[in-house]
Every structure is written in structure tokens, then in C-alpha cells.
Amino acid sequence: MKFVDEFRDGGLARALAGKIERAVEPGRRYRFMEFCGGHTHAISRYGVTELLPESVTMVHGPGCPVCVLPIGRIDNALALALEQGVTVCTYADTMRVPASGRTSLMKARAAGADIRMIYSAADALRIARENPAKDVVFFAIGFETTTPPTALAILEAERESLANFSVFCNHLLTPAAISSILESPQVRGIGTVPLDGFVGPAHVSCVIGSAPYEYFAAEYAKPVVIAGFEPLDVMQAVLMLVKQVNEGRSEVENEFVRAVTREGNAKAKALVAEVFTLRRSFEWRGLGEVPYSALRIKPRYGRFDAEQRYGIVYRSVADNKACECGAILRGAKSPRDCKLFGTVCTPENPMGSCMVSSEGACAAWYTYGRFRDREAA
């Protein structure tokens, strides 16, 4: 197949659904977590769940970088703009995530703070170049997909000796989060959310390759199928996972062969290795502190590290008590379990991070009206 429409073909989807129906074993249940928000979005948008047999349940995972950013990190970025008077640049969704005291970067901007919406790390660099009298901080978030452009921006800033540019680094690592989910008592423990396998990330895997998932496929005996973000990709991945479960295999398989290799993108990985190093620990919304799950800027590039430059101190802040984002991000609950869903909390007025990004489970459910009982089972 060559064109994107072909990966959304209804006839092929029904044929795949038939194969899955024939592959599932009578009396057996299959629960697969799609790690990425991109998959959650595709499943909701194209009604993939409705095509799957009753015995197959898709569980939403934490793979939406906006959703897992804890409130304390947003508070840090707000303080940079409001207390230190710097120009904060970040992606659009990040601006709408609720911070402490029902504020947000968007509300702070409306009140006069210099907070700018950008499309790429290169935009932040340009803003720094064009405003030499201002201190510009790129509030960088995202998984392995967005990390290489941030590394490039830092290297470029060094090459240009751009003294008014720095990065507040909040880049995250996917494999550590999947390990955390499997070790979480609520997920693994006496089977609150038993998982039989994972639909592995698409874009992230283009960068890191499929090899990093091999450890926990073997260690935790859970199959992983890396899949693209189109509906047929997801359905093919489900079929491959069902077969692995039936055959008692726990392997890493790659459905997204048109973009992902075992080794990944060597140039992108080298850039990241040049600029970043592992953090000992990082708090994720929903998962708590996850060891070695995020990156920080290496001391060699310390002058571009906003945490050093502005003495940023991270403080953990509890989520809104009524918001179930934490449990949703662990796969322990679904959006319909939240009393605020679709009433108090909507994409126009998000109370939690999962309603902000289109990749968030709550936003996907709300946008495409997927409220079926089976998804919450």
C-alpha cells in the first residue's frame, strides 16, 4: 500500500476484523494496551473497538506527552514567565494544561505574560535570535520523537553563541514508562488491569527502533507489536498480538515496517546522546516517580539549561481530586469513570491534562463519542 487512504479502507478493515474474530480462542479474554495517544486517537476516530470481538479490550496508555506532564512542571514554566520575566515558548497543547490554582500558560498569556505558541524547536531559536534583549526559554516536552529537534536547537544555539536562549527540558523515555506500568501494583498486582500485550509506539520507534522493547518483552513475558497510526495498522497489530498470546510467545514484532527498523535512526540517536543524559528520576502524572525515565541537558551544554540558569526547583503538586487522569494514564480507569467527563470537563474547559491534547484519552472519547460500556470493562 502506498497512500494513506488505503490504510483506512473499510473493506480491508472488515476483512481484518474477520481474521481477528477467527483467531481469538473461545472463552479467552485479550487486553492490550495501546501506549501512544496517536493509537488512542485512531481507535476512537475510526471506531476500531467496534470492529473487534467482545473478547478483545483496548486499554489506553500514558503515551501522550502533554497528559503525563505533572502540574509542578507547568508551574515551573509559569514562574519563569511571571516571576523571572522571560519569554517562554512552547507547543500549543502545553499552553492549555491546567496548572496550580486553575491557571494555565494560556491564561497567564492573556494576563500579559510573554508566552508564545510555537510549532517547533527551531521557532524558539528564531524568536531568541530576533529578540536579543529578551531571555527566551523553550519549554520542551515530548517523547523520543521530539527530542532530536531540541538537541539540534541546543547545538545550533552553541554554534551561534546565542546567549539569550535556553531549554527547560522535560523530554521523556517510553520504555521506562512501559516497565513502570508493568511493575505498578495497580496494574500488575492482583490483576486490577491485567495486560496481555502492548501496541508499541509508532513515531517514537522510528527514532529508537524496536530493539529497546526486547528487554521487557522477555523480562515481563508480554508481547509487543509496534504499529503505525492508521486504523489498519492498529487492527493488524491486534491480530499479531492475538496470535502471540495464543501461541504463548512474548516477542517484539514490527507491523510498522514501512518506517521502523530494529536499530532506529542512528543520526537522531547520536544527536540525543551528544546533548542529553539520563535523569535519575522524573515524576509522571499518573505514574509517579519513574526511575531513569527522562532526560536532562549534559553539563557540557549547561549554559543552555534553563533549570541551571534560573535555579528551577521542582515541587510535586497533587492533581484535582475529582480528576481521574492518573488512573486513566495507568490504564486502571477509562474516561467514563470520571464524574466530570463531558459535563464540567470538556475540551473547551479541560479540568485535567487528558482532556487537553487530541491524543489524550478523555479528549479522544469526547471528540468521537466513544462511550461504550465495553471500553470501560
Give me the residues that bind ligand SF4 (CB under 6 A), please: 323-325, 328, 335, 338, 340-341, 345, 350-352, 354-355, 362
Q: Please, what is the angle between helix 121-130 and helix 147-159, to 10°?
A: 30
* Closer CB to ligand SF4, 212 or 360, in the complex: 360
Residue with cell 534583549: 133
Could you tell me the smallest distance in angstroms from the CB atom of residue 187 to ligand SF4? Answer: 17
Instruction: Name the amino acid, one letter, at 65.
Output: P
* Residue 200 CB contacts under 8 Å (≥ 6 apart), including other chains: 35, 210, 213, 224, 225, 226, 227, 252
Could you tell me the smallest distance in angstroms from the CB atom of residue 100 to ligand SF4? Answer: 16
Spatial separation of the C-alpha atoms in residues 49 and 51, rounded to whole Å: 5
* Residue 164 CB contacts under 8 Å (≥ 6 apart), including other chains: 128, 131, 132, 133, 134, 135, 136
Could you tell me the smallest distance in angstroms from the CB atom of residue 50 to ligand SF4? Answer: 22
Could you tell me the smallest distance in angstroms from the CB atom of residue 368 to ligand SF4? Answer: 14
* Closer CB to ligand SF4, 226 or 351, in the complex: 351
* Closer CB to ligand SF4, 56 or 340, in the complex: 340
* Closer CB to ligand SF4, 138 or 284, in the complex: 284
Could you tell me the smallest distance in angstroms from the CB atom of residue 8 to ligand SF4? Answer: 27
Could you tell me the smallest distance in angstroms from the CB atom of residue 345 to ligand SF4? Answer: 3
* Closer CB to ligand SF4, 209 or 350, in the complex: 350
The answer to whether 61 and 89 have CB atoms below 8 angstroms apart is no
* Closer CB to ligand SF4, 81 or 354, in the complex: 354
Spatial separation of the C-alpha atoms in residues 136 and 81, rounded to whole Å: 10
